[in-house]
Amino acid sequence: MAITKDQVMEKLRTVNDPELRIDMVSLGLVYQVKIDEAINDIFVQVTLTTPGCPLIDYFMHDIHATLKTLADVGNVKVQLVFDPPWKPSMMSEEAKAELGIEE
């Protein structure tokens, strides 16, 4: 059975920033999701709020481990990028409200 982008995004909503306690999808940290439906390989391009974030290893491991729990998943590749740079406007309205960010 083919894995869908919605399934991947749902799983990524369980990966929380341990400091902010908000999921990475709501924070706007997921830039791209691609799935090779023939073999259920997943490619995810993500960013972090800052390039020097001390939680890089935590996030990379947690993303990979979380996506590997999908049924029939093939390989999982997570690419960390910083272009375009993350900015608060990328967050969901709910995440902005939770953090008290107004635009």
Tokens of 38: 């023939």
CA atoms of 24 and 1, how far apart (whole Å):
26
Q: Give me the residues paired with residue 33 across strands.
A: 44
Name the pLDDT band for 103 (thresholds 50, 70, 90).
Answer: low
More confident residue, 32 or 55: 32
Please determine, for residue 19, whether its predicted confidence score (pLDDT) is greater than 90.
no
What are the strands of the beta sheet with 30-36, ordered from one edge?
30-36, 41-46, 76-80
What average pLDDT does the chain have?
94
Q: Report, as an integer, the average pLDDT of 68-95.
A: 95
74's CB contacts (< 8 A; 6+ apart) are 36, 39, 40, 41, 42
Instruction: Give the residue among 23, 87, 21 at the shortest CA–CA distance from 50.
Output: 87
What CATH code is assigned to 5-90? 3.30.300.130
Tokens of 3: 């894995």
Q: What is the pLDDT of residue 86?
A: 93
Task: Tokens 């729990």: give the residue.
Answer: 69
CA atoms of 58 and 72, how far apart (whole Å):
24
